[in-house]
Structure 1
Amino acid sequence: MNFLAHLYLSDNNTNVMIGNFIADHVKGKNFSHYHEDIQKGILLHREIDTYTDAHEIVRISKRRLHERYRHYDGVIIDIFYDHYLAKNWKNYSQIPLDVYVDSVYNLLQKNITILPQKTQDMLPYMIEYNWLYNYQFAKGIQEVLSGMNRRTNGKSHMNLATEDLLEHYTIFENDFTTFFEDLRTFSHQKLEELS
């Protein structure tokens, strides 16, 4: 899953949200200097990624993609799923998406000094282009995928993946809806285990 889902699955615990958000920029097991709940968020993020990668519906979604993406297919599906979460946000939260996103940006900015350097470097771009809010639009997804393609020097061809999204739009949405129910249950249980 991508940023929005990881944040959402943190059960509105602000420190777990921070940990879940920064986890990709925290390597290995050396994160004991963080607050206990931030550590939980990092561990939760890793559990979510492992569960997602192994889930049959996610594997089916990956197979729907054009073969040109090769090992980037998982990243693309993560972004597609965040699109459907943002688009259908009202089905998952009583807090409007724009309000939720603003609160996340405020939380991260308030805690900027404890974020890993890579996260600090990324955050201004995320806020300026309002990634979390714009995930709900095909144009927003296109911008994210194009940016990721540039970071791979064009090797990933991720800039073309919006074509796949639009071609199989309803099928991908059905995949997401079914999978996300499983993931919500898993994440809730995992967070209780970590507490």
Structure 2
Amino acid sequence: MNYLAHIFLSGNDDFLKLGNFMADEIKGKSYKTYPQEIQKGILLHRAIDDFTDHHPLVSKGAHRFFEELRHYNSVVIDMIYDHILAKRWNEYSDVELTVFAEEFYLLLENNQHLLPQKISKVVPYMIEHNWLLSYSKLEDLKSILKQMNHKTKHETQLHKGVDIYLAHQADFDLEFTGFFEDIRKFCTSKIKQLNQDL
């Protein structure tokens, strides 16, 4: 799961969204230095990643990228799933994606002081290029993946993942439907657990 799905799966709690969004930059037990609501978001993010990594439908989809992209297949499946979520957004949310994105960008701007420095530096670029909305267009997603090629340690052609997706689009969309139903149920349960534990 990438940014859009992580934020959506946090529900309506703003601080849960913030913690979930910044979690990749929070290592080990350092999450405990943050306010409790942020901690819940970080732990939710880790639980989502673990659930996703071990889900058979995600593994099935990621395997289609492996021959071309090797171990970067997990990166690309995350991006493709965010595309499918954006494309089918109105099936899952009563709030228009444009509004959802704008509200989240405002949340980030109003809480810059809580964000790790590395994340804080990315936020203006994220807002300027409207990352959350750009996932909905395959040409924009392909452009993002081309930019990511320059940031990988090895020579990659991550943008080819879009072509692989299009070649198996019906399968990916069907797998996403089953997986997303499962992960939404999981997150509802996990959030209740976090609210009890913390």
- 1:119 corresponds to which residue? 119
1:60 deviates by 0.3
Corresponding residue for 2:89?
89
Alpha-carbon distance in structure 1 between the residues aligned to 2:121 and 2:175: 33
- Find the counterpart in structure 2 of residue 102 from structure 1: 102
SS in 2 for 1:30: helix
Alpha-carbon distance, 1:66 to partner: 4.6
Q: Distance in 2 between matches of 1:30 and 1:59?
A: 30
Matched, 1:174 2:174: yes
Q: How many residues are matched?
A: 195
The match for 1:31 is 31
Determine the C-alpha separation between the residues in 2 that align with 1:25 and 1:153: 19
SS at match of 1:133: helix
1:12-60 CA deviation, whole Å, 9 max, x = no partner? 1000000000001111111222111110000000000000000000010
1:159 shift after superposition: 2.2
The answer to whether the aligner puts 1:14 opposite 2:14 as a matched pair is yes
2:176 aligned with 1:185 = no
Could you tell me which residue of structure 2 aligns to residue 53 of structure 1?
Answer: 53
Structure 1 runs, 4 residues or longer, greater than 6 Å off: none
**Identical-pair percentage:** 44
Which 5+ residue runs of structure 1 have no aligned equivalent? none
Q: Provide, for residues 83-133 of structure 1, a one-character-per-residue CA deviation record: whole Å limited to 9, x for no partner.
A: 010010000110000000000000011111210111112111211111100
CA RMSD of aligned residues (A): 1.1
Q: Which residue of 2 aligns with 1:161?
A: 161
- When the two structures are superposed, what TM-score results if normalisation uses the length of structure 1? 0.96
Aligned AA (2:144): V
TM-score, normalised by the number of residues in structure 2: 0.95
Return the offset for 1:135.
0.4
Stretches of structure 2 that go unaligned for 5 or more consecutive residues are none
Q: Is the 8 A contact 1:131 1:140 kept in 2?
A: no
Corresponding residue for 1:42?
A: 42
2:136 alignment partner in structure 1: 136
CA positional deviation for 1:154: 5.6
